[in-house]
Structure 1
Amino acid sequence: MKLLLTSGGVTNPSIHEALLELLGKPTEEATALCIPTAQWGHPRCGPVSARGFVAGLSPWGGMTSMSWKSLGLLELTALATIGEERWVPWVRSADVLLVDGGEAAYLCHWMKESGLASLLPSLSETVWVGVSAGSMVMTPRIGADFVQWPGAADDRTLGLVDFSIFPHLDVFPENTMADAEKWAAEISGPAYVLDDQSAIRVVDGVAQVVSEGRWRRVPGQAPR
């Protein structure tokens, strides 16, 4: 799977160009599925923001308002009730999965529960575009400060990449560089701090920062 792990979405020409390179074709020729599931697990999100993402409404739906050959909705909490024979072909036929933010631990739970997490290694040509929690879910840990879902056992996520992500640098009062440094010390592994004009492109395990804003790589620290 090819990854475009963003903080705020496809927010500038550089990130858009990275998306096109991963797709290998214009978005107008690509089929997409959008996944809003992470929204339901976060106390700051809900029906209004979830609808905004799915419908492409500002300020939530930048990716879904782009021109796609087709755009569908994949709600992970429903998949276990309909059977893999229905939903797996939908995922396999999609060129790109657009995964919204919200609560990464909740998203991780439903990726495992639905079976999507197990399917990902076989999707070698599919592009995963994450926003915030939709990016963080691919990392080993998100840090205790980002766990907002009471059902989470801890801050561990899928670990499909070997670094963690601190998103939305300077967007919220609690997302300063000083806050990121404290968070990184608790993570104890390599991490990237990203503002909403930054993203990480990952192909064959190689990570490359794409940015028109502010970002920082924080080296890993030995566990205490």
Structure 2
Amino acid sequence: MKLLLTSAGVNNKSIHEALVAMLDKPIADCTALCIPTAMYGHPWVGPGVRTWEFISGNSENPMVDLGWKSVGVLELTALPSIHKERWVPLVKETDVFLVSGGDALYLAHWMRQSGLADLLPSLDAVYVGMSAGSMVMAPVVGEDFVGWNPPNGEDEALGMVDFSIFPHLDHEMLPENTMADAEKWARGIKGPSYAIDDQTAIKVIDGEVEVVSEGNWRLFS
């Protein structure tokens, strides 16, 4: 699986070009599944209007509305209640996953509970994450990003990459997301970590990591 881990979606030319290069065919020929699950775990974005905005492509973060051949919804909280043969073939045939922001640990929990976490590494698809949808791929999210408390009480995410992510760096509506705050957060992370602003994404293909940015970012090692 190829990963494009963004802070705020595919919102500039560089990130868009990176996505196109990762696909094996034009966007107009690609089928996509959007995953809004993380939104339900975060009090600012779900459930309700903003969840609908993401699914319908009416949000301020370009992901669903990029011109895909088709876009479906994969709601992870529903998957444990239906037979796998009803959704696993769909997942295996999908070209792109569009994973919303919200609460990263809530998303990690339902990726595991649904069985999607076990499938992802074997899929020949592009995973596009936004905020929590990107953070969930890390080994841990760090104490600053623990909102929803998982059953084990830890801040462990899926560990599909070996670095952690601090999104929305220097965002005007998030005064606690300064570079100084990111530095403090990074000191609590065992392993490498990135602070990225909303004009930045991290591309991962076969373990090779590349930062794609028209903004500001920093690697803490």
Q: What range is the shorter-chain TM-score in?
A: over 0.9
Q: Aligned partners of 2:118, 2:83: CA distance in 1, in Å?
A: 14
User: 1:193 maps to which residue?
Assistant: 195
Q: Aligned partners of 2:176, 2:24: CA distance in 1, in Å?
A: 37
User: 2:165 maps to which residue?
Assistant: 165
User: 1:11 maps to which residue?
Assistant: 11
Q: Aligned partners of 1:112, 1:184: CA distance in 2, in Å?
A: 26
Quote the offset at 1:150 in angstroms. Answer: 3.0
Task: Flag structure 1 segments of 5+ consecutive residues without an equivalent.
Answer: 220-224
Q: Among all aligned residue pairs of Structure 1 and Structure 2, give the percentage whose two residues are the same amino acid.
A: 62
| SS in structure 2 of the partner of residue 102 of structure 1 | coil
Kept in 1, the 8 Å contact 2:97–2:128? The answer is: yes
Structure 2 residue identity aligned to 1:156: E
Q: Aligned partners of 2:120, 2:59: CA distance in 1, in Å?
A: 30
Quote the offset at 1:66 in angstroms. Answer: 1.3
Structure 2 length-normalised TM? 0.96
Aligned residues: 217
Kept in 1, the 8 Å contact 2:8–2:199? The answer is: yes
Task: After TM superposition, list the pairs within 5 Å mapping 1:85-124 onto structure 2.
Answer: 85-123=85-123
Q: Aligned partners of 2:59, 2:147: CA distance in 1, in Å?
A: 24
Kept in 2, the 8 Å contact 1:43–1:148? The answer is: no
Deviation above 3 Å: which 4+ runs of structure 1? none
- Name whichever of 175-184 and 21-30 sits farther off: 21-30
Q: Aligned partners of 1:84, 1:145: CA distance in 2, in Å?
A: 35
Q: Deviations over 1:152-194 (max 9, x none)?
A: 5211100010000000001111100000000000113100110
Structure 1 length-normalised TM? 0.95
Q: Aligned partners of 1:186, 1:42: CA distance in 2, in Å?
A: 23
Q: Aligned partners of 1:198, 1:158: CA distance in 2, in Å?
A: 21
Quote the offset at 1:45 in angstroms. Answer: 1.5
User: 1:146 maps to which residue?
Assistant: 145
User: 1:33 maps to which residue?
Assistant: 33
Q: Aligned partners of 2:45, 2:91: CA distance in 1, in Å?
A: 25
Kept in 2, the 8 Å contact 1:141–1:159? The answer is: yes
Kept in 1, the 8 Å contact 2:138–2:160? The answer is: yes
Q: Aligned partners of 1:55, 1:100: CA distance in 2, in Å?
A: 12
User: 2:54 maps to which residue?
Assistant: 53
Quote the offset at 1:58 in angstroms. Answer: 3.1
| Structure 1 position 126 matched with structure 2 position 141 | no
Kept in 2, the 8 Å contact 1:169–1:175? The answer is: yes
Q: Aligned partners of 2:184, 2:50: CA distance in 1, in Å?
A: 29
Computed over aligned residues only, the root mean square deviation of the Cα atoms, in angstroms, reads 0.9
Q: Aligned partners of 1:197, 1:42: CA distance in 2, in Å?
A: 22
User: 1:181 maps to which residue?
Assistant: 183
Kept in 2, the 8 Å contact 1:8–1:168? The answer is: yes
Q: Aligned partners of 2:143, 2:187: CA distance in 1, in Å?
A: 12
User: 1:42 maps to which residue?
Assistant: 42
Q: Aligned partners of 1:3, 1:116: CA distance in 2, in Å?
A: 15
Of 213, 218, 222 in structure 1, the residue corresponding to residue 220 of structure 2 is 218
Kept in 1, the 8 Å contact 2:50–2:59? The answer is: no
